[in-house]
Amino acid sequence: MAAHNAPYGAAHTAAAPSESADASTIPAAPASMVGLAALYDDPAFKVLYARVHDARQALPDWDNLAHVTAFAGAAELVGELLIRPRGAQERRALAHLLWQLLPTAMRARSFLPLPDDLGRRAEDGFALVPGDVPRVAASWVAFLGDPELLPKALAHQPLVLVPRSQAKALHQKAPAVLVQAERLEGDLLHARALGAAAEPVRPTSLESVAGWLLSAGPDARGLDLRSEDDRALLLVWAQLLRERHVDGRSAFAWLQDGNAPASVKARVVDACLDAAVAAVGTFTLDPQACRFSLSSREGEGGWAEQAAAALRTVALPDGPLVREVLPRARQRGSVAELVWADALLVETGYAAGRLSALGAARAFARLATSVLAPLGVLPLSGLRDGRGAVLLQRFVEEAPGEPRLAAPRLVSFGEAVKNEPLADAWRDGRGLMLPDPKAGPRHELAAMPAWLALFLEGIDDGYRSRPPQPAAREATP
Amino acid sequence: MMQLIALEANNRVRAERPVVVVVTRKKCAAAERAVRSFATAAAALAIDAIAMDADDADNAELLDDLGITCVPECLLFARGVVLERCAGARHDDDARAILGAALRRPRDRR
């Protein structure tokens, strides 16, 4: 990704920001937007950029106080840049620079500005143009229309969810149990519990298994392409697909190939999923998750108090840099909890870069519903704990006519981005509060080809309804 | 803003009409600011807003289930689903933008 965020990406080189590295990587996209050039040309930005670069080179990873002090110093410079009104893309570029100075442990999750060639398109409302989004060939979706899909997939003894009434649940809060399917007899699935005992569970009706497998969640919805945020998200996902290669060819190109062999399809869908997680997790920041949690113990020299004092003195043109929150449980040694990111990322939404962990998960679920579900990756969102995890259940076409069911996974966006097996998450007590499938809509597998065609057609309609594009403008000298 | 305990709040958040829950603490300036901002934002968006005390033992289980770590913390519910959550807001407009985006209502700037 760094290559597409050249001015910073470069963040790790001494090179000054340069427009020359901003060549569009989207062939069909108009390279007409001035983008961040005005910010990059600002002498104050160049000073800030050099300062961040130098600090990153010099600061030892263990020295939290030095990081916070450097952060506060850089934030003062950001304040000077914010005297002029700045757009959302400029603000997220500034937040990215500050993010790089956070103490090491607080940088567990990446935060990047939008790739330059997409960031420029903010001025155009991220309008979609032909060639932006892959025209997924019908052959990628066709296997989901097989009426025998579920029985065939269950024949391979996958891990599936069944209601907790069918077996002794390990977790009080989980309304379902993860079991190993054994065989299908008529309309009943026989299965075993996981773990050393591996006891048989009560046979479960196919309808009940399908209910858990196909549940989309009580608030399920796909991308709304009338929304600027959802268009930006789709564009970033498509961009990332161009950068992920399978057997020497981009995932973007593979999806448009109606003759793609079954042997590569699973890996291409892996790339699509990986790109969807990265599109949300790498390009958004959660102010709550990246706040300063400062605490100190005796003998640490009061560094946390000094750090808190340094941060509290920083003022931006429209108010202080940080605002205080309190830990819910009174913690010994807690000095301060300071939220800073929403002072820079003042707008909420994907394009502006500010999403809570829950907002990020909802964005991921919308993207997954629109572009991953037709490839066999079915999202279930709306877990009752409100932490925003999304359950993924996936049909894989490894060979023609031989669908398999992959083990369920859980994707979450908090202080770190996680895409892990559901069994591992449950072991740690996460992702347990699944919504009852009876309460929400289901993924209609047989309708997926039509749904995808409708989605792509909707994009085409968007192209046709757009006014003619203006001629490309010259970049600001 | 009405202060409710978990039992009452549990019923309110299942309603069709969205409701904002602000987790507060007595004598906490940040919580008081959040209550003001979200009450104003909720009124502007014609939705309900209620408060819950983080230190009330009756609320502990629900707040644990929801993974509440900060005071203030604000959650937007509709039909029992959490649509958005955040550790307060900078000001009234920020609170309104957060709620508006989660409700997918057009914001003023659009």
ipTM, 2 dp:
0.92
CA distance linking residue A222 with residue A215, whole number of Å: 14
Q: Which of A219, A337, A347 sits opposite B81 (nearest CB)?
A: A219
Report helix, strand and coil shares of chain A as percent, to nearest 5.
45, 15, 40
CA distance linking residue A250 with residue A331, whole number of Å: 49
Cβ–Cβ of B70/A219 closer than 8 Å?
A: no
Nearest chain B residue to A354 by CA distance is: B98
Residues B85 and A337: beta-carbon distance below 8 Å: no
| pTM greater than 0.80 (yes/no) | yes
CA distance linking residue B31 with residue A246, whole number of Å: 51
Check residue A416 and report its DSSP letter.
S
Give burial (CB, 10 Å; 0-12/13-18/19+) of A172.
Answer: exposed
Determine the residue among B36, B70, B71, B104 to mutate to test chain A binding: the one whose Cβ has the most chain A Cβ atoms within 10 Å.
B70
Q: Do you find a cis peptide bond into B72, omega within 30 degrees of 0?
A: yes
Cβ–Cβ of B67/A385 closer than 8 Å?
A: yes
Residues A162 and A208: beta-carbon distance below 8 Å: yes
The SS3 assignment for B45 reads coil
Phi, psi of A333 (to 5 degrees): 85, -5
List pLDDT tens digits, range B51-89: 999 999 999 999 999 999 999 999 999 989 999 999 999
Determine the residue among B85, B104, B109 to mutate to test chain A binding: the one whose Cβ has the most chain A Cβ atoms within 10 Å.
B85
| Identity at A49, one-letter amino acid code | Y
The SS3 assignment for A295 reads strand
CA distance linking residue A16 with residue A455, whole number of Å: 42
Q: A199 CB near a chain B CB, below 8 Å?
A: no
What per-residue confidence (pLDDT) applies to B104?
A: 76
The shortest C-alpha distance from A327 to chain B (Å) reads 5
- Where are any strands of DSSP class E within A94-214? 159-163, 176-185, 188-193, 204-205
- Tokens 């597409």 appear where? A4
Q: Which of B30, B79, B84 sits opposite A326 (nearest CB)?
A: B30
Which B residues in the span 78-107 are in contact with A, Cβ-Cβ below 8 Å? Answer: 78-91, 94, 97-98, 101-102, 104
Determine the residue among B25, B90, B99, B109 to mutate to test chain A binding: the one whose Cβ has the most chain A Cβ atoms within 10 Å.
B90
Neighbours of A219 (CB within 10 A): 18
> Which residues of chain A make contact with B35, given a CB cutoff of 8 A?
none
Torsion of CA A262, A267, A273, A279, to 10 degrees: -130
Q: Which of A218, A342, A346 sits opposite B81 (nearest CB)?
A: A218
Residues A375 and A143: beta-carbon distance below 8 Å: no
What per-residue confidence (pLDDT) applies to A335?
A: 93
Nearest chain A residue to B89 by CA distance is: A342
Of A174, A391, A437, A219, which is closest to residue B79 (Cα–Cα)? Answer: A219
Label residues A205-215 b or e (16+ Cβ within 10 Å = b): ebebbbbbbbb
Nearest chain B residue to A228 by CA distance is: B110
Nearest chain B residue to A338 by CA distance is: B87
What per-residue confidence (pLDDT) applies to A33?
A: 37
Determine the residue among A328, A355, A362 to mutate to test chain B binding: the one whose Cβ has the most chain B Cβ atoms within 10 Å.
A328
Cβ–Cβ of A287/B86 closer than 8 Å?
A: yes
CA distance linking residue A77 with residue A98, whole number of Å: 10
Determine the residue among A325, A342, A428, A432 to mutate to test chain B binding: the one whose Cβ has the most chain B Cβ atoms within 10 Å.
A325
Supply the mean pLDDT for chain B.
Answer: 90
Torsion of CA A286, A290, A295, A301, to 10 degrees: -160
Of B67, B74, B68, which is closest to residue B90 (Cα–Cα)? Answer: B74
CA distance linking residue A328 with residue B68, whole number of Å: 7
CA distance linking residue A187 with residue A22, whole number of Å: 58
Q: Which of B66, B94, B104 sits opposite A342 (nearest CB)?
A: B94
User: Could you say which residues of chain A have pLDDT below 70?
Assistant: 1-35, 169-170, 464-477
Q: Long-range CB contacts (< 8 A, 24+ apart) of B58-65?
A: B58/B5, B58/B6, B58/B7, B59/B5, B59/B6, B59/B9, B61/B6, B62/B6, B62/B9, B62/B10, B63/A328, B63/B6, B63/B23, B65/A173, B65/A384, B65/A385, B65/A433
CA distance linking residue A56 with residue A43, whole number of Å: 20
Contacts of B18 (CB under 8 A, 6+ apart): B47, B48, B76, B77, B78, B83, B103
Nearest chain B residue to A325 by CA distance is: B71
Radius of gyration of chain B (CA): 13
CA distance linking residue A25 with residue A28, whole number of Å: 9
Cβ–Cβ of B82/A346 closer than 8 Å?
A: no
CA distance linking residue A116 with residue A263, whole number of Å: 34
Cβ–Cβ of B69/A327 closer than 8 Å?
A: yes
The two structure tokens encoding residue B102: 């989660």
Label residues A385-407 b or e (16+ Cβ within 10 Å = b): bbbbbbbbbbbbbeeeeebbbbb
What per-residue confidence (pLDDT) applies to B59?
A: 94
Of A117, A118, A91, A120, which is closest to residue A33 (Cα–Cα)? Answer: A120
Nearest chain A residue to B64 by CA distance is: A385
Q: Which of A325, A326, A358 sits opposite B85 (nearest CB)?
A: A358
Average pLDDT estimate for B93-108: 80
CA distance linking residue B94 with residue A319, whole number of Å: 13
What per-residue confidence (pLDDT) applies to A300?
A: 75
Which A residues in the span 228-247 are in contact with B, Cβ-Cβ below 8 Å? Answer: 228-229
Of A253, A249, A227, A242, which is closest to residue A275 (Cα–Cα)? Answer: A242
Q: B44 CB near a chain A CB, below 8 Å?
A: no
Cβ–Cβ of A359/B101 closer than 8 Å?
A: yes
